[in-house]
Chains A and B, each alone.
Chain A
Amino acid sequence: MLSAAPRQSESGARTLLKAEALEKRFGGITALADYSVNMGRGELLGLIGPNGAGKTTVFNLLSGVFKPSAGRILLGDRDITAARPDRRAALGIARTFQNIRLFAEMSVIDNIRVAFHMHRGRGLWPTLVHTPAFRRAEREMAERAAEFLELLGLQDVRRERAGNLPYGLQRRTEIARALAADPQLILLDEPAAGMNPNETDELIAVIERIHHRYGLAVFLVEHDMKVVMASCDRIQVLDRGRVLCEGRPADIRKDPRVIEAYLGTPRKGSRAGS
């Protein structure tokens, strides 16, 4: 059966991300209340829930787009509750967006290079003079970029303007860009949205690969149950701004509360709005 915190084996040193009693209010509306999460290094965690449950709010709080109304966020031992988004990115939290937000005017490769440069780029002088250190860094970046392009099947479109790509490829470019930021934790916000079953299968494979190859912790918000069930070690269910339950995929699938949250009780109008 389900317990409130199923994998307590992730003790102190192995904990990567910890959020405690996060709350977010917008005016009089509480979008998220008493939200806590404990993520281990290299863990694959899923977050599901009906529309409007507060899933994207969780990501916005973790990546620093919003400041929480209450609660705190720890990355490793560091309190990042007040840290700006760029600082959090530098500390190793990368994300993608539900509605894709690429640098549409830039090429695929440049989108990836933006993320690289922020972490390992060089200053003006080495760039203009092409010092050996600069050339070495450029070569390393090119190799890593090639690796991510290959991993996500983007080699053939690397020079395309990102805004011109079909939807599925834009999603993958976003994931590649997030990887290039050299994260410890990657937040994927509905990566399967708008994908056909084939693309979804490929996506599941990609998530598995980045998880295994780079040992990354992946936090996945997803509507598509197939993706969550196939990918995640552990799932949190959010409903109307609160954590409903948390557990292994097999248990979540059977949990009556989850079924109720998704399908609604026979009483009308009990579903959370979108």
Chain B
Amino acid sequence: MGGGYIAQQIVNGLILGSMYALVAIGFSMIYGIIRLINFAHGDVVMIGAFVTLALMQVAGLPFVLVAAGALAAGAVVGVLIERGAFRPMRGAPQVTGFIASLAVSIMLQNLGILLLTAQPRNFTFPAALQKVINAGPVSFRVIDLVIMLSALGLMVLVMLLVKRTRLGMAMRATAENLDVARLMGININRTILAAFAMGSALAGIAGLMWGGKFGQIDPLLGYVPGLKSFVAAVIGGVGSIPGAILGGYILGLAEVLFVGLLPPIYSAYRDAFVFGTLIVILLIMPNGLLGSDKGERA
């Protein structure tokens, strides 16, 4: 088990972590702004993956347009979910929204099975993206590089948006106190919608990445990235975007290194390890690594 092998595992972990981080940002944004744990968020990843498949393999669009389509599809789905399922529940107890998100998740999964069948589909990127690059001891495909770099770019963009723009400021203010934000002239419906659109767009593009990384998609694929990204968001501190990013990378790396470095018989415990990590971190830092103890909104 040489240094090269470990370097390779780290690269693999970063690729996986990029995807977790992108999905976790959405979880955190949505939780931060309306204290809703959106369990349908993972299914937006699935929708993003199928939209990618349709645009790329059926419509044959160029890659950049496919990526734009996945982002847009995610945003649209996020907006529809917010308008359809969560806005009518605004002001209801927290658990109501939580149950509603489970319902939306089940509906999206079953709608997927009805429309697309549960049969996994192969997901093949153009040959140019499948090319393997050898950089010293480490090798990866072009698509892996695209995943890592575009994820990084999107994260920077989101952070800038939240920190610098008027919308970002409205989002931070709404996250802190919805009622006061509204009295400061912030249109909170629009702000919440924007948070759903942004977070879900990232989940949509993560769907493209997920398909590109694993090569197969099916209507239930959102479950695993959804759950693990939720774990990533909690590890980082739910509500914090940098926390979600950190949590995503930590989880991706931990998962890959666990499987890669321990004897193969333990690899079946991959998910147990992920959730074990969550439990340990929450025992030591109940608010996550970068979270604050803002508590629940009354």
CB B142 to nearest CB in A, in angstroms, measures 28
CB B12 to nearest CB in A, in angstroms, measures 33
CA distance A142 to B175 in the complex (A): 24
With A104-B176, A118-B170 in contact, do A123 and B165 touch (Cβ < 8 Å)?
Answer: yes
CA distance A128 to B164 in the complex (A): 8
Contact of A124 among B167, B186, B188, B294 (CB under 8 A): B167
- Check B271 for interface membership: any CB of A closer than 8 A: no
Q: B166 touching A84 by the CB < 8 A rule?
A: no
CB A248 to nearest CB in B, in angstroms, measures 31
Contact of A95 among B161, B183, B294 (CB under 8 A): B183
- Check A42 for interface membership: any CB of B closer than 8 A: no
- Check B184 for interface membership: any CB of A closer than 8 A: yes
Q: Mark B160-202, 1 if CB is under 8 A from A, else 0.
A: 1100111101101100110111111111100000000000000
- Check A34 for interface membership: any CB of B closer than 8 A: no
CA distance A219 to B165 in the complex (A): 32
- Check B150 for interface membership: any CB of A closer than 8 A: no
Residue among A95, A103, A106 with max Cβ neighbours from chain B (10 Å): A103
- Check A186 for interface membership: any CB of B closer than 8 A: no
Q: A118 touching B182 by the CB < 8 A rule?
A: no
- B170 CB contacts on chain A under 8 angstroms: 114, 117-118
CB B31 to nearest CB in A, in angstroms, measures 15
Q: A115 touching B176 by the CB < 8 A rule?
A: no
- Check A65 for interface membership: any CB of B closer than 8 A: yes
- Check A113 for interface membership: any CB of B closer than 8 A: yes
- Check B216 for interface membership: any CB of A closer than 8 A: no
- A→B interface (CB under 8 Å): 63-65, 84-86, 89-90, 95, 97, 101-106, 110, 113-115, 117-119, 121-124, 127-128, 177, 181
Closest 5 CB pairs of A and B: A121-B166, A89-B185, A118-B185, A117-B166, A85-B182
